[in-house]
Every structure is written in structure tokens, then in C-alpha cells.
Amino acid sequence: MEITTQMVKELRQATGAGVLDCRKALEASNGDFDKAVTLLREKGLAAAAKKASREAKEGLVGVYVHPGAKMAAIVEVNCETDFVARTEEFQQLAKDLAMQVVAARPRWLTPEDVPAEVLEAEKAIYRKQLADQGKPEHIMDRIIEGKLKKFYEETCLMEQDFIKNPDVKIKDLITEHIARLGENIKVRRFARFEVGAED
């Protein structure tokens, strides 16, 4: 099947991949658009995994102030070069992450950041609930594991569903941007402010 310039252009718009990569993906998938997208995603995710160990010291602070100026968030997002930090796509990512912090109210960045005492308290609550329901001991651990996963999804930024696309988790959104922009990207820290809220 002949791969036209239009096909390459459409694939490039959909994925953000380079012209040559788009042409190769279309050739490998015999012109099948969806297969080509999958190929490029797999290639991008593999490349992103390799970049994850590289140092990210540049970047910027994303800011979002909710209409009415009662809530706001700031997020530090790091990348490898100032060139990528200045791109519109990176700036939009930083702003989207700040918006996520305002809307979804994460308390920690990753599950590893949750203090041990908080985790133990959560587990104790779940164990008591399950005991009150008469659940047998041997299945409690499995149920608690599932409940902790849900707890992380609600309280850890990287585990949350992206508010603009709930099919994508924040950690996957970051990975997609690493693949597209060709640099390691790390969310370093965030802060959320709300008028009248207790710290």
C-alpha cells in the first residue's frame, strides 16, 4: 500500500512523532492508522523508560488560579533543558498539573511519599471495617491491598486520573510527554492553597 504525505501528516498530528518515524510506522503496519499509532506509542514508551534515569534540573513552575481566586496551586516540573522548558507543550503540561492539584486535591506526590503512620492508620481502619463485616482473615490482606490502591489513586498526584482525560493516569501523562519531547520529565513538588482552609 502506498503511504501518502497526507497519511504521514495525520499520524504526526495525532501522535506528535517525527515525520520519518510516522512513515516507518505506517509502512510497518501496512497503512493501518490505529496499528501505526500503537507502534509509535510502544516505541515512545520504551524510549521514555530509557530517559527516566537521566537528570532533570531545568524546568518551570506551573501555576493555576481557579476562577474567583479562592483556590490556587503551584507545581514544579523539571526537564533536562531550558529549550524544552520553554516549549508550549511543556508549559501546558505544567499548567494542567497545577489545575489537577486544585481540582483533585492530592496530598502527596507518589505512594512512596505517604508517611508510614498514615498508611498504618488506614490499614487499621480497613481491618476493623472488614472484621465488623465478618470477613475471614485470609482474604483481608487482599481486600486491604485493593483499598490501599484506591487510597493512593485519591491522595497521590501521580496515581490520580487526569481531570482532562480520566482514561489516563498522571504518571502515564508524564511518560507520554517524555516520549514526545525526548527528555526526562519529573514532577518535583506541589502546593495547593485555598482561602480559609486549614493547613
Give residue 132's pLDDT band: very low, low, confident or very high (50, 70, 90): confident
Report the CATH architecture of 5-51: Orthogonal Bundle (1.10)
Give the pLDDT of residue 189: 94
Q: Could you give the residue range(s) of every CATH 1.10.286.20 domain in the chain?
A: 115-155
CATH topology of domain 58-109+156-194: Tetrahydropterin Synthase; Chain A (3.30.479)
pLDDT in tens, 9-38: 887 777 666 677 788 888 888 888 888 878
- Strand-pair partners of 187: 77
CA distance 44 to 38: 10
Give the pLDDT of residue 47: 57
What would the mean pLDDT of 184-194 be, rounded to a whole number?
92
The answer, yes or no, to whether residue 5 has pLDDT greater than 60, is yes
81: buried, middle or exposed (CB in 10 Å: 19+, 13-18, 0-12)? middle
Q: Could you give the residue range(s) of every CATH 3.30.479.20 domain in the chain?
A: 58-109+156-194
Give the pLDDT of residue 101: 96
Q: Could you give the residue range(s) of every CATH 1.10.8.10 domain in the chain?
A: 5-51
Q: How many helices (H) and strands (E) does the chain have?
A: 8, 5
CA distance 115 to 98: 23
Element of type H or E holding 7: helix 5-15
Domain 115-155 belongs in CATH node 1.10.286.20: yes
